[in-house]
Amino acid sequence: MPEATADRDAGAEPILVVDSVVKHYGGVHAVNEASLTVDQGTITGLIGPNGAGKSTLLELISGFQRVDAGRIMFEGRPVQNLPAYAVSRRGIVRTFQAAREWPALTVMENVLLAATPREAESVWRALLLRRQLARIEAEARSRAREMLHEFGLYKLRDEPSGNLSGGQKRLLEFARIACAQPRLVLLDEPQTGVNPVLGERMAEAIRTLNATGVSVVLVEHNLSFVEKLCDPVWVMDLGKAIAVGSMSTLRRNSAVVDAYLGSVAANA
C-alpha cells in the first residue's frame, strides 16, 4: 500500500478494499499486486499513464475479469471472481469507455430496464405477484421519470437512444445507474467524446449521484475534471498503486511526477 500524501480519516470503514490484486495475460502483468481503498461516500479518482492497469482493475472489481491473486472486499465481503451479475447485485455498477445503450429502445425504455426490480423480471414471480405488479411498474415509471428530469433527458424520453449524442448517451448511463440504486459506481473515462458543455453537466451528474450516498471511483485522463471532483486521488503505474492524496499534494510527489504528471505537462 503506498504511503498517503494527505491525511485520511482513519476511523472510517472503507466500502472497497483492493488487496495485493494480480492479473496477468501471458507474461504481461496488467495489474501487479495493486492495493487501494475507497472510503464510503467519496468520489475517488484513479489516474495514471496508459497501460498502468486502471481499466483492468475496474474489470476485476466489477467481475468482468477473474483475479489471479489477491482479494477484493466490498462492504466487508469478498467479491473477487464473482460473475459480473452477482457483483452488480451486491451493489457495484460500472460504465465503460464507450457509452453503452440499447439503441433501438427509447430513452425511457432504457431507464425503465434499470428501474424495474428483479422480482418483476421473472415470469413466474410476476404471475405469483400479479396483484403487486401494477404497483411495481407504476413506481418504476415514476422513478424513471424522476431520473430523466434529474439528468436533463425528459424531453428526449420517446427518442430512440441510438439517436443521442455521445454526451447525452453518457447522461443516459447516469440516469440508468441512479435508477439501479447502487452503492458503488465505477466510471471508466466518462469524459471520452463529451463536449465541454456536456462535460460540465457530467460533473453535476456525478455530484448528484454522490449526494445520494453513492460512492464513486473515477478513472479519467482529464486531470482538471479529476481535480474538480475527486478527493482522494490514487495514482497507478506499472500495474500497482504508487501514491494517494489530493491533486495538489500529488503534484509535489516526485514519483507521481516522474511516472505520469511530468509527461502530462509535457504533452500539454
Q: Domain residue spans in the chain? A: 14-101+182-267, 105-163
pLDDT at residue number 55: 93
* Cα distance between residue 166 and residue 211, in whole Å: 25
Our measurement of the distance from residue 7's CA atom to the centroid of its chain's CA atoms, rounded to an integer in Å, reads 24
Indicate the pTM of the whole model.
0.83
Cell of residue 110, nine digits:
432504457
The answer, yes or no, to whether residue 114 has pLDDT greater than 70, is yes
Please check whether the domain covering 14-101+182-267 is classified as CATH 3.40.50.300.
Answer: yes
Q: How far is CA 191 from CA 5, 67, 166, 170, in A?
A: 26, 27, 10, 9
* Cα distance between residue 46 and residue 4, in whole Å: 14
Q: How confident is the model at residue 204 (pLDDT cuts 50, 70, 90)?
A: confident
Residues 69, 20: contact at Cβ < 8 Å? yes
The answer, yes or no, to whether residue 143 has pLDDT greater than 50, is yes
